[in-house]
Amino acid sequence: MQPTATVLVYSDDASTREQVRLAAGRRPAADVPAVRYLECATLPAVLRTLAEHHVDVCVLDGETAPAGGMGVCRQLKDEVFRCPPVLLLIGRPQDAWLATWSRADAAVTHPLDPVEFAAALAALLREAGRPQPVGCQDS
């Protein structure tokens, strides 16, 4: 297991980014590595961070403006080679279909339930930590 995992957190709201950090803590589950957070408030910062750093999981706020997390997720899935798994924060359970449209790997509703959020993040960190089978292509 790697010593730390890097989680990119995208929201234009500093309190939302703080809620993400506090909900998951330094280690969202005992069987995943400790987490280091990289915070971004704009789409250009997200793209720059993904280009310059290894990111294991992205957490995107669907309510961010002007570039909402759902559209950003879809863009990342289309444009970033080996895009890390994405956990999308949605405003209401009825928005789950939009999370599916955006091709998010998981979604949780905001305000965050710390137990639900930590479990979803840990599941994506486990997935990100698995080696790809030989000959397997990312889509």
Q: What is the pLDDT of residues 78-90, one digit of tens each?
A: 999 999 999 999 9
Token pair recorded at residue 49: 């961070």
- Whether residue 52 contacts residue 105, with contact meaning beta carbons closer than 8 Å, is answered with no
| Cβ atoms 54, 81 nearer than 8 A | no
- Predicted TM-score (pTM) of this structure: 0.91
Give CA separation, 87 vs 100, 122, 133, 135, in Å: 11, 11, 23, 26
- pLDDT tens, position by position, 114-136: 999 999 999 999 998 766 555 44
